[in-house]
Amino acid sequence: MAFSFIHISDIHLGRAFSNLSTYSFDESIKSLYENAVEVAFNNFINFAIEKNIDFVLISGDTFDNTAQDFKSKLILKEGLKKLDLAGIKVFLICGNHDPILAYNKITFNFDENSNIKIVGINTPEYGQFEVNDFAIIHAFSYKENHIKENPLQYFERAKANDKFNIGLLHCDLNADKASPYFPVSTTELNEFNYDYWALGHIHIPSDNEKIGYAGTIQGRNTKEIGAHGFKYIVVENNNIVQNILIPIDVIRYENFEINITQAEESTTAFDLILQNITSFIETEQNKNYKLLLLKVILTGSIGFYSELTQSFFDTLNERIKENFNNLLYVSEIINNTQPKINTNVLKEDDGISGEIYRTITEENATMAVNTSLEEFKNILNHCNFSDSELNELKEKITKKVKDKCLNLANNVYYNEERMEK
């Protein structure tokens, strides 16, 4: 027996993109953002119908919150209706962003005989569903935003039969037990002997063939990098023979590291960066997107460290826009380069350059940064920094202080050396 299904999750209808105000987009790009999720969702619907998929699994967080806007409700309802009319069965569970109470039973009034099963709305909140005598779906929906019970108590272990068993669950796989989004281990899931676990909650798709996250269908910020879409799975004789990610995202975020050590000075570094970005775009796979937002991370040890000023980066950004016709934007340029210095010489130098180097390479720099941040503690608290964000800020400031001082020490030393000659 052969059949196919789609595993899709974390659609988050109604969620906004992050940090849009930092980009100078023209109107056509703004339109891309406004319609990106709807276009991606319709790409999924069209694929399912064209491929004549047997069933679809939606593993939670279809809406971003319990109070959806009209457009989000309309997008989902119209999409589900198309699948229903095509004879494609759908099993949708509620996650922590869209618990059962988020769904209006009048709006989503699919009766119990339709192909659409919204678990907890037109079915019980947990249960088993047979699909055409060849598969069994074990599913559970969140009643509220946080789980207060163990959903696995409602899941039955797979029985010795010829059916393909699937667990449909929104959870935090292998997470800390304090997580309010049902932390569960791979070992616990394996004990059920299911042929596939269709999980939701994590926005990056996983590679595991049998216990997997589909990820979100459209990245909304610079942390959700790479291709996004849904899992297309083909089964033959109860074995998964195909499990691939089908990218449907309209806007994509990527990180790209460029080592510029080989550049001799700033203009050659400028050209090297542009060449690397061009090669990246030409060789990248899954280029179905309409817009790429690229975080460029510069690394390497360079002698022209002090020349990488704001003017350098502003000009680089302008040139990128010109070269790629507004289809590529640089979301951020992170300068992780370091001054090229002779540490052995500076360490032994008895002048001011040596003093700067020895001071900054000791713990004094970190202590100075911590002291400064302590003075601004009240301001930082008003900014609602988390501990990890505050530590990240400290690291960035410390690195910048060290790099500038190392560069200063290096310049002072070599200027002194030239004057002596």
* Beta-carbon count within 10 A of 230 CB: 28
* Beta-carbon count within 10 A of 197 CB: 25
Taking alpha carbons only, the member of 160, 154, 190, 186 closest to residue 173 is: 186
Domain ranges of the chain: 2-247, 251-420
Q: What is the pLDDT of residue 32?
A: 84
Task: List the chain pLDDT tens, one digit each, 421 residues.
Answer: 799 999 999 999 999 887 766 666 667 777 888 889 999 999 999 999 999 999 999 999 999 988 889 999 999 999 999 999 999 999 999 999 999 988 988 999 898 789 999 999 988 889 899 998 899 999 999 998 887 778 899 999 998 778 999 999 999 998 887 788 888 999 999 999 999 999 999 999 998 889 999 999 999 988 899 999 999 999 999 999 999 999 999 999 999 999 999 999 999 999 999 999 988 888 876 678 888 888 999 999 888 888 888 899 889 888 888 888 767 888 888 888 887 776 676 667 777 666 766 666 655 556 655 665 565 555 555 566 667 776 777 777 777 666 666 666 666 655 554 444 4
Level-2 CATH architecture, domain 2-247: 4-Layer Sandwich (3.60)
Question: Residue 213 in contact with residue 201, Cβ under 8 Å?
Answer: yes
Question: Residue 197 in contact with residue 167, Cβ under 8 Å?
Answer: yes
Taking alpha carbons only, the member of 345, 348, 60, 335 closest to residue 197 is: 60
**Interatomic CA distance for residues 366 and 135, integer angstroms:** 59
Write down the residue that tokens 């190392």 correspond to.
406
Q: What is the pLDDT of residue 97?
A: 94
Determine which helix (DSSP H) or strand (DSSP E) holds 352, and give its type and residue range: helix 352-360
Instruction: Calculate the CA 298 to chain-centre distance.
Output: 21
- As a whole number of Å, the CA-based R_g of the chain is 27
Instruction: Identify the DSSP state of 149.
Output: S
**Interatomic CA distance for residues 222 and 32, integer angstroms:** 17
Taking alpha carbons only, the member of 349, 338, 336, 337 closest to residue 414 is: 349
The pLDDT tens digits of the residues spanning 135-167 come to 999 999 999 888 777 889 999 999 877 899 999
Residue 305 tokens read as: 């460290």
Q: What is the pTM of this model?
A: 0.82
Taking alpha carbons only, the member of 311, 213, 207, 206 closest to residue 267 is: 311
* Beta-carbon count within 10 A of 378 CB: 7
**Interatomic CA distance for residues 321 and 333, integer angstroms:** 14
Instruction: Identify the DSSP state of 63.
Output: B
